[in-house]
Chain A
Amino acid sequence: MALLEVKDLDVGFDTPEGEVHAVNRLNFSVEAGETLALVGESGSGKTQTVMAILGLLAENGHASGQAFFKGKDLLRMSPSELNLHRGSEIAMIFQDPMTSLNPYLRIEKQMIEVAMHHQGLKKAEAVAHAVEVLRAVRIPDPERIIRQYPHEFSGGMRQKVMVAMGLLSEPELLIADEPTAALDVTVQTQITHLMSALQKKSNTAIILISHDLGIVAGACDRVLVMYAGEAVECGTVEQIYYEPKHPYTQGLLNSVPRLDQATERELETIPGNPPNPLTLPDGCKFRDRCPQAFDACSEPPPMQVGGDRHPFRCWLGVSK
């Protein structure tokens, strides 16, 4: 049984202008110990997917479908039930460490509360444990650092602290939302190596949300490509990068500079913009921007599942 299995997830928001469909009929699963990347443009629904799973949607948001974690549906749980899993078995690393850390509390306090609440540790033990985790994420002088406040660190350090906080309870599932977005390349590499190493050690499953294809290539086992709130392609890293089947995936890969290709090649962009989630088009949502669109695309395309477990949502190659 998969560690996390998401079925037909729909996430919507009530706004004065109408209902915003952020995620539509999303299906995916994550096995224990594997790293799944959620890839897509801003607004593709990646973050809202995990927010829904963790019960952290905004007040005007609602989710339907199922999200089975070790067999129990997270979407049906009350906040107090969710609290048994959040922070202990499922941990989250948020995107913006400056606003995701409480500026009024010392790091120490924000770290020990996890262990003290979930594992019942006493303060001294919790502090020692936290210091060890900080050391593991290569933060120098952790005993001193832990007594400081978030605004006293650089961005890279803050991100490492966020990662450390995510790993404190040795979760079975770690969700990392753009953990390297605001960082320079050297720190990016450090963090991704960290996560891989810790994953190997504790067999943690990771959902990595990113729009950086370079990071994804280096750190992940499988990739789920999302567009306009839907899954459009899913496969192993090799399948996605070497044999992309969906025109959107192909477009994404073409827009990234690659070492193994000629340097004089012009970077291609995908023309246009993602559709307005208030007024999603019928049929294939990528149709307006797709270079290979044809008349069948006015109908919602089927998810083509071949024998190679590399499904993609497209009309191309479907024989009538």
Chain B
Amino acid sequence: MIRDTGMARHVIRRLLSLLPTLFMLITVAFFLMRAAPGGPFDSEKLLPPEIEANLEAKYHMDESLLQQYFRYLSQIAVLDFGPSIQYKDWTVNELIGQAMPVSLTIGLSAMVLAFLFGTLFGITAALRQNTRTDYILMGVGMLGISIPNFVIAPILILLLAVYAGWLPAGGWDWSIASMVLPVVTLSLPVTAYIARLTRGSMIEVMHSNFIRSARAKGLPESVVIRRHALRPALAPVISFLGPATAGMISGSVIIERIFSIPGLGSYFVQGALNRDYSLVMGIVIFYGVLIIVLNFLVDLIYAWLNPRVRYDDKN
């Protein structure tokens, strides 16, 4: 498959198209942060002018905005995100290094959970279309999309942590118990959306002519579904994984706040509120790269799944 020139060419095209995204991300984030009225030192006690000037020089804020921009670009090119402004003894790299494993674990687990359960429910509903199972699954699915995660989370905490005492109400200590609620809550809306998407896609595929052909060949229904229906049915779901990740990242901000988890989302909001430019930029870029890489992988998987995509590029 990798030897197939269609695939290789597609991969390269995809890689090249990612660079503008990253660039745009960095640029917009940079100028946006700097556009904020007030600087990082405003919240502190009123500083004598010389000390403030020294601080500004240390963080290169006495230079023009454009100069700061190019300085920053050259810095991150070597992956140096600079020192954090709020947490004075830490560099951004260190902070991200600390928070990243937490957020990544939650995010990845939630994604896997959402995909597995979403597709499972969706396919089940599709194969039992218009039966009670279908209505129940889709009703719950609709609920999953409609209930915001910041509504579900407190309610789940109330029920499972406060009243029942089975799980901790927050905090993060790498134990499974502390992981359950955040991961599940984060994954719920995505699971619901994937379930609905899969169901619709599966139903459409099962009505297509090539499924009829497969049946006409005398293949057992389980083979028809597994070999002929799954791939086309899952294609839109795979496509959706890219935006789903972006959505999850957004959702993680809330989840981390509610469950008091020291992840990138928390640091981001704090950083934004305190004008910690380097930290905010660092997180934005990190997530940006993550999204880009993930989208890239998703594209690869999609092209593997759907052969027509590779060949459209060639022509």
Mark A residues whose CB is within 8 Å of B: 54-56, 58, 79-80, 82-88, 91-92, 94, 96, 99-106, 109, 113-114, 117-118, 149, 151-152, 165
Contacts and interface: CB of A to CB of B under 8 A. Distances in A.
A149 B311 CA distance: 10
Nearest to A84: B218
B232 to A, nearest CB: 5
B228 A149 contact: no
B218 A83 contact: yes
Closest 5 CB pairs between A and B? A87-B218, A87-B217, A86-B218, A99-B209, A102-B210
Nearest to B233: A104
Given A94-B216, A104-B307, A79 B209 contact: no
Given A149-B308, A151-B311, A113 B217 contact: yes
Contact of B212 (A56, A117, A152, A165): A56
Contacts of B231: 104-105
Contacts of B71: none
Contact of B220 (A83, A109, A114): A83
A253 to B, nearest CB: 32
17 contacts: A79-B221, A83-B218, A85-B218, A86-B215, A86-B217, A87-B218, A91-B216, A94-B209, A99-B209, A103-B306, A104-B231, A105-B231, A109-B227, A117-B218, A149-B308, A152-B311, A165-B217
* Residue picked from A83, A92, A104, A165, most chain B C-beta under 10 Å: A104
A56 B215 contact: yes
Contacts of A82: 218
Contacts of A54: 216
Contacts of A83: 218-220
B219 A149 contact: no
Interface in B189-214: 207-210, 212-214
Contacts of A99: 208-210
Given A94-B209, A113-B223, 6 more contacts: A56-B212, A82-B218, A84-B218, A91-B216, A101-B210, A151-B311
Interface string B20-64: 000000000000000000000000000000000000000000000
Contacts of B228: 102, 105
B21 to A, nearest CB: 28
Contact of B213 (A55, A80, A84, A100): A100
A149 B1 CA distance: 13
B258 interface: no
Contacts of B306: 103-104
Contacts of A91: 216-217
Contacts of B294: none
A163 to B, nearest CB: 13
B218 A94 contact: no
A100 B232 contact: no
B254 interface: no
A94 B208 CA distance: 13
Nearest to B308: A151
Interface in B205-253: 207-210, 212-221, 223, 227-228, 231-232, 235
Contacts of B208: 99
Nearest to A152: B311
A98 B209 CA distance: 9
B305 interface: yes
A151 B214 CA distance: 18
Contacts of B216: 54, 56, 86-87, 91-92, 94
A117 B214 CA distance: 12
Given A113-B227, A152-B311, A104 B218 contact: no
A242 B256 CA distance: 84
Contacts of A114: 217-218
A117 B221 CA distance: 13
B209 A96 contact: yes
B307 A113 contact: no
A219 B219 CA distance: 30
Contacts of B217: 86-87, 91, 113-114, 117, 165
Given A113-B217, A117-B218, A104 B212 contact: no
Contact of B218 (A88, A96, A100, A109): A88
Nearest to A58: B207
A114 B224 CA distance: 12
Contact of B308 (A79, A84, A101, A103): A103
A256 B219 CA distance: 41
Interface in B127-174: none
Nearest to A147: B4
B300 to A, nearest CB: 16
Contact of A87 (B219, B221, B311): B219
Contacts of B212: 56, 94, 100
A149 B218 contact: no
Nearest to A55: B215
Contacts of B223: 113, 117
Contacts of A102: 210, 213-214, 228, 232
